[in-house]
A and B are shown apart, each in its own frame.
Chain A
Amino acid sequence: MAGLEFVGVRKTYPNGVQAIHGIDMAVADGEFVVIVGPSGCGKSTLLRMVAGLETVTEGEIRIGDNRVNELEPADRNIAMVFQNYALYPHMSVFDNMAYGLRNRRTPRDEIARRVAEAAGTLQLEGLLDRRPGQLSGGQRQRVAMGRAIVREPEAFLFDEPLSNLDAKLRVQMRLEIKRLQRALGTTSLYVTHDQVEAMTLADRLIVMNAGVAEQIGTPLEIYDAPATLFVAGFIGSPAMNFLPGTVAEDGSGANLDGSERTLPVAPPASAGRGRITVGIRPEHLEPVSREEAVLEVVVELVEALGADSLVHGQLADGGEGMAVTVRVDGARQVAAGEVLSLAVAPNHVHFFDPDSGNRLA
């Protein structure tokens, strides 16, 4: 097994589309790294460059200590799980898993042993003679996993492997992938647009936006201190509330646009005296009595999820478009039209420069 490294990697497609604008990062041996970002941001492109399915326009990709830019996919000793599984439809499950080993001239009994072992791990024992067309979505997903693990590669690459499954199966397979990766200790690069999947699976996350890695860090680092407005809005569900405002005259708080009240949390000195964007996650706003409140929200709509409810509303004395979402305990009765008094812990208030989008610290 081996680590993985990107050094100034860029990709421009022949049609001129610049998909990757320079990525630098090292993935440690055995680490599970998730690349997350909206559709079209270049996640697949990055993964396919590691696999050798796309050329690297500039920079270097290393697996272990070797530069692999010029190597054929076959020579990189990686395995990939595709979104549509890419199982060979004319081969049995056994042959699907054995194909890569046969191509590498693995002895027969060794192939049989490894496939049986993988089939055991993935509960595919009874299905080895079937064709992919005779399997359910979840079973196909397992076969695709099996095909990857029998190879015992240096690294696993996953390109949205769960997005064709229904919600329940997705959660189940997510756990299974995590468990399997832990057990095998194989370096993994996992692409998804689903931030919940990203948060739960990753040792470390790369949040991508338009071909740029906006932030690299552990899920909690990114959740607690998002580096940009984009990351702040993308990671966390429901998304963080963004409230535009200015730094108060004495620097001790933030004046939200259209609001009389000053949010009594001091922005960092780097904010100067200009405009700022205040970010507060829905789960960090807490209903309190009027006297303790720092914000007031007029409730417009309540989504009851059971364990908790999502309250959507407008800042009570705010200007146009000061929408706020609050996550409250499911037992709490909230009705539309009600005014909710809210408090927030100072360490859960984020400040961003509205022009550059960068976090102010």
Chain B
Amino acid sequence: MTNRSPILSLRGIQKSYGPIKVLHGVDLDIHPGEVVALLGENGAGKSTLSNIISGTVQPSAGEMTWLGKPYAPANPRAAMDEGVGMIHQELKLLPKLSIAENVFVGRYPMKSGRLDRKTMEDKARAGLQRLGLDVAPDRPVEGLSTGKQQLIEIAKALTLNARLLILDEPTAALGGEETQALFRQIERLKSEGVGIIYISHRLEEIRQITDRIVVMRDGAKVQEFDRGDVPIRTIVEAMVGRSLERMFPALPVPTQEVALEVRGLSSPSKAFRDINFSVRKGEVFGIAGLMGAGRTELVRAITGADPISAGEVLLHGKPVTPRSPIDAIRNGIVLVPEDRKLQGVVLDHSIAENIGYANLGEIARNGWLSTRRIREFAEDYIRKFGVKGRGGQNAGELSGGNQQKVVLAKWLARKPQVVVLDEPTRGIDVGARSSIYDLIMDLARQGVAVIVVSSDLEEVLGVSSRIMVMAQGKQAGILNREDANDVSVMELATI
């Protein structure tokens, strides 16, 4: 591995945004046919470094060498022409265009001067099937689940014929099956001599797929491991710079009082049918299932974001079936949605304003507000949730994980009775993840009924006192904590 010359070398790469320095001289070599994991806490600079390699962002200082020649891509197109492909952390698909058009955007296959639609759709279908996704390539991307969109993004990158591929948190929205399909594709690319930079907060997958690990902290490379199967504990210590005792806190004992009850709930789009369950005060109720099982649709309906065709939702025995998010929020039922960019934050507004948007009623006195008052309100939560940023800073300038903390802060500031968390730790680093688990338990201890939807099985198992498993829109069963393990959950999920 080391005797071959690297495809890409970085030397002393620095990046500053105004007075803030986010990369302090990073050196990195990527060889053909190796998978290098780039790890680090939220805001460590992983995405920034990747964006520099892919021409999305320009470095302030430092040099790059590509196949022995100096390399300084002015824009993503230039990087792509050299053979650098990247999947961005945030989904960047065009919602109105078809799946096939998205996969081939900017490089449509042509035949005698015209767009060759058939070739394009065939290739797109083949690319998606390799990832285990069976969808019509001519349907628009709009309305597909986050997980499916993620797979399309991956298919797009895989068809680039890149010599270096950067995957920035490709599995954040994926379940186990899809992740394995992705890994098979990565193995294939590896054997073809493609170099891969792999960024993820799911440390278990790192050992399975990577040849080398590079750990970053606060914009600098702090440690390198020459193999992939490093104990997770060691990686975590390198990432956070201290040792971390445990991941999941102890579960509080739920009360006997039922807070939320769902009876015979069905959706007009048939995404889920006849769902029945109840959540007690102080209980953490997990919902597991494969991609497309209808989990997101179910919790969106419960919180008024999507319509309901039959059934009802009760809170403390009173019917509260919501018709809009406003209805649900008034009753103290809030949703922390799965896609933060589209549903969670306004990227070009400040952190304080974003936290304020769900709480304007509370911040206002007789309907009067000021920027200063919003700022003061938010400051508290920025500190409490450990958001790495200032209140006046735009949310778009935060790292992905810190944006997620802003979304959480915005909702938990409302002191709700029922909190529904859809993929609460998507893109969140280990240290912050365990603090979010602590927050969830705190909520439960205060008597809040919490519902957690997650594709991360370990997470659902770790935080829930009961787990409902969904399969193809139906409720496959509810498991008590004692009976729930990866085997029993997967058995129910795949029936």
- Whether chains A and B associate is no
Instruction: Report which B residues bind A (CB closer than 8 A).
Output: none
Instruction: Report which A residues bind B (CB closer than 8 A).
Output: none
